């Protein structure tokens, strides 16, 4: 199993959902808080234009570009065509691009453009109600990789400790870089457990507003991971 994209260290991703947070991420001390900055384009005010993002301050660390689909937690209703066009415009900002596995087949030109630019493609899967069966998650991993995913990401709601162990087994059987995180009451602790078992990314928020249920602040994630020993 490949544990990470370029090292054995789990990357802490700090999510930004407003212009103020994006500007703050350009400060050098951002690296004390997170390793990557996720730009949640769908969560930004529509007053923030692609040109403003491209010509304004840039974070002092790698950028993960996300234009989340509404059905998987996106904050803005956009057609697939609008999302793809927006991602194409903002691709020069990105070290990595997050796109939903369910929408990946319709975005193959974007995937090709990302790969040509050396941008890592992350295929994400979200279930806000339950933890899918291990076999279903494995099938989604195979499907995502067949569509060009470099990293496969799973986020799902945990109800029991048994649910949490599904992710541990999923990571054990992963065929390439994978990120796994839980949502809900067990979400916070699951992010550390999965990081110990090989999840290559752990997400936290920058500022005061979480971008997903069960999410820690990025700074707290980074502090906690510094005190953990990987188990794989």
Alpha-carbon Rg for the chain in angstroms: 16
3-class DSSP state for residue 57?
A: coil
Average pLDDT over residues 164-184: 96
Domain assignment of residue 97, yes or no = yes
Q: What is the pLDDT of residue 8?
A: 60
Q: What is the pLDDT of residue 35?
A: 94
CA distances from 185 to 73, 156, 161, 211 (A): 18, 12, 11, 15
pLDDT band at 212 (very low <50, low <70, confident <90, very high): low
Convert the pLDDT of each residue in 18-67 to its tens digit. 999 999 999 988 999 999 999 999 999 999 999 999 999 999 899 999 99
Instruction: Report strand pairing: 36-40 vs 216-217.
Output: unpaired
Domain assignment of residue 21, yes or no = yes
Domain assignment of residue 16, yes or no = yes
pLDDT reading at 4 higher than 50? no
Domain assignment of residue 60, yes or no = yes
Instruction: Tell me how many domains the chain contains.
Output: 1
Of the residues 11, 126, 197, 222, which is catalytic? 126
Of the residues 11, 153, 197, 222, which is catalytic? 153
Domain assignment of residue 232, yes or no = no
pTM of the model: 0.91
- CATH code at position 31: 3.20.20.70
Q: What is the mean pLDDT of the chain?
A: 91
Domain assignment of residue 33, yes or no = yes
pLDDT reading at 75 higher than 80? yes
Domain that holds residue 185: 11-225
Q: What is the pLDDT of residue 103?
A: 94
Convert the pLDDT of each residue in 116-127 to its tens digit. 999 999 999 999
2 is catalytic: no
9 is catalytic: no
Domain assignment of residue 4, yes or no = no
Domain assignment of residue 3, yes or no = no
């Amino acid at each position: 199993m490949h544990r990470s994209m370029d090292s054995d260290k789990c990357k802490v991703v700090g999510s930004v959902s407003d212009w103020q947070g994006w500007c703050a991420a350009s400060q050098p001390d951002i690296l004390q808080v997170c390793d990557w900055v996720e730009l949640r384009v769908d969560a930004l005010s529509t007053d923030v234009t692609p040109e403003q993002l491209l010509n304004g301050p840039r974070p002092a660390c790698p950028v993960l570009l996300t234009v989340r689909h509404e059905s998987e937690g996106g904050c803005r209703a956009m057609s697939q065509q609008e999302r793809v066009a927006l991602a194409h415009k903002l691709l020069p900002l990105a070290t990595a691009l997050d796109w939903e596995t369910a929408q990946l087949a319709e975005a193959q030109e974007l995937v090709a453009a990302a790969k040509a630019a050396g941008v890592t493609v992350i295929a994400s899967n979200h279930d806000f109600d339950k933890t899918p069966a291990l076999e279903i998650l494995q099938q989604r991993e195979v499907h995502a990789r067949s569509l060009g995913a470099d990293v496969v990401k799973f986020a799902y709601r945990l109800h029991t400790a048994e649910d949490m162990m599904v992710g541990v087994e999923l990571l054990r059987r992963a065929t390439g870089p994978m990120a796994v995180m839980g949502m809900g009451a067990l979400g916070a602790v699951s992010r550390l457990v999965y990081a110990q078992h090989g999840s290559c990314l752990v997400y936290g928020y920058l500022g005061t507003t979480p971008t997903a249920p069960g999410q820690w602040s990025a700074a707290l994630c980074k502090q906690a991971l510094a005190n953990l020993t990987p188990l794989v």
